[in-house]
Chains A and B, each alone.
Chain A
Amino acid sequence: MTPWSTLLALAGDATGSWLAQLKNLATHPWVVNLVAMAVILGANAAFFAVITLLERKGLGRIQNRPGPNRAGPFGILQPAADGIKMITKEDIVPERADQLVHFLAPLVMLAPITLALAVLPYGPQLVAVNLDAGVLFFFAIGTAGELAAFMAGWSSRNKYSLLGAMRAIAQMISFELPLVLSTLVVIMMTGSMSLVEIVAGQGSAAWGLPGWNIFTPWGLAGFLIFLTAAAAESNRSPFDLPEGESEIIGGFMTEYSGFKYAVFFMAEYFGMFAVSGLGITLFLGGWHAPFPFLEWVPGIFWYVAKLVALVFGFIWIRGTLPRLRADQLMNFSWKFLMPLALLNFATAILWHATAGWQFPGAWLCRWLVCFGIVAGAFTGLGRAMLRRRQVGPRIYRYAS
């Protein structure tokens, strides 16, 4: 049944009460899906505006300057000013550029990320799509970003663009592995790939602590690995090599201006929201309140509070840490995060195998043993990597 036939039926049937018809129309799948799409897009776009202001203000604070303070009181109209500027700017396309691919790249970047935002549970009833393989959908749809980065970099016919695209693809592929591996631990322990069920599994509180995954040793290690890999996946500092302004101008976005640049910018922030939302869902209990006596507060409030906290963490890191070098980035992913993520698997298995321990203090004992393994590996690997540090001139074997 199409919405048109519904509308026609609505107009033709004058005998029934219009309230019942309105209810029929409001629960029609097409209407429900359209409303869900509009809410997800609108809410995230509004959040994007607020976060850009928070980021500029926060960075200003860290760098001992006031930040934007001209548009409106305390600069709160700055996002609107930015938006108007972006829309009214001239859209410049290089003459030698591949016109069609150049035009499509921002769209291919943004569209999959908005799809990924649809599977996250924002509250007990606020789930747009509850997929059985929600986590798999999230990562499958995220791979389109690599292709979009390549399209943007290649179609611009610019050396810096192509370099930035190559860096972006290499970085996304490398950090996808620790990201997925840290996620798999949660899937293994919950026994489901549905994001709704993963949140439901973190509802029960015990020992005065909420039942979130982060309060287990594998969850804590997994969350830290996830957060690091997520910062790299969404091209956040200190992993912002693909667009390092001081090295390669703007990476694959160099030849974009006006609204197309804004779309890339928006895709980047939406990606950060999506991956932070996944982290909240997997490790921080999703929309659950931290304590049972706070359950009366709506779930969406807790979700947004956790999201703002995570995003603020990203902003703080951006203001604090310097950018990594390309080889440091690769070493960090393959030689440090990957072994840690694999070991975290073993820890989770140990945690699962010792679940039957009954003697007093068993929970604390399990916690300490598992935490010892992860923390020991973290310290050992970190020290070993530092010891192998090269101080002499570096030899480029393949890039000479």
Chain B
Amino acid sequence: MQLAFTIIALLILAGATAAVALRNLVHCVLCLAVAFVGVAALFLLLGAEFVGLAQIMVYVGAVAILMVFALLLTRNADLPATGPLVSKSWLTGVSIAALVFGCLAIGILASGVGQAAPPSPQLSVRQIGEELMRNYVLPLEVLGVLLTVSMIGAVVIAMTDPKPD
């Protein structure tokens, strides 16, 4: 467990670091996909089978592919990026990141996770489905409507033809 966690954590960290440090944007996306797979492996390690598989399906199967398409359709991805790797406002960025990390750490420490280590319930897919369809059916429907609206919006933006003259 400890060894597996170490390996997965190192994989995520390496992937995420490479995703921001590499010069070639396509390499960055591929490294980000590695980090996504690592997060999914972490979920699987914790026994959250459904969440882990959904993570692979959504992030590797959809988000990474979307990024790749966006890269290839918007700019010439083969051109090496120029300019400094570290931006001038790095101090602001680091302080904001530290602030967010601090807030999350305080929240997690205050929640009492890790002190008592309660037995994690083994949720089957059936239970997750029943929860989604009974207790959380309204948020689910609202999310569905939101996604549909955003998709229609994207199509409308893409469909505006220049006036023929």
Contacts and interface: CB of A to CB of B under 8 A. Distances in A.
Given A141-B56, A143-B60, A154-B26, A133 B50 contact: yes
Interface string A153-190: 01001000010001001000100000000000000000
B125 A143 contact: no
A192 B126 CA distance: 7
Contact of B53 (A140, A151, A173, A397): A140
Interface residues of B, number: 24
A101 B30 contact: yes
B147 to A, nearest CB: 14
Q: How large is the interface on A (under 10, 10 to 19, 20 to 34, 35 or more residues)?
A: 20 to 34
A146 B57 CA distance: 11
A39 interface: no
A144 interface: yes
B33 A147 contact: yes
A133 B65 contact: no
Contacts of A169: 65, 68-69
B102 interface: no
A132 interface: yes
A144 B125 contact: no
A133 B61 contact: no
Interface string B86-97: 000000000000
B9 to A, nearest CB: 21
Given A101-B30, A136-B53, A136-B54, A146 B124 contact: no
Interface in B40-54: 49-50, 53-54
Interface in A93-142: 101, 131-133, 136-137, 139-141
Contacts of A152: none
Contact of B125 (A101, A132, A162): A132
A286 B69 CA distance: 38
A137 B53 contact: yes
A170 to B, nearest CB: 9
A357 to B, nearest CB: 26
A322 interface: no
A169 B60 CA distance: 13
A397 B161 CA distance: 9
Contacts of A140: 53-54, 56-57, 61
A133 B30 CA distance: 27
A191 interface: yes
B64 interface: yes
Contact of A143 (B49, B57, B126): B57
Closest A-B pairs by Cβ, 4 of them: A143-B61, A140-B57, A140-B56, A140-B53
Interface of B: 26-27, 30, 33, 49-50, 53-54, 56-57, 60-62, 64-65, 68-69, 72, 77-78, 124-126, 161
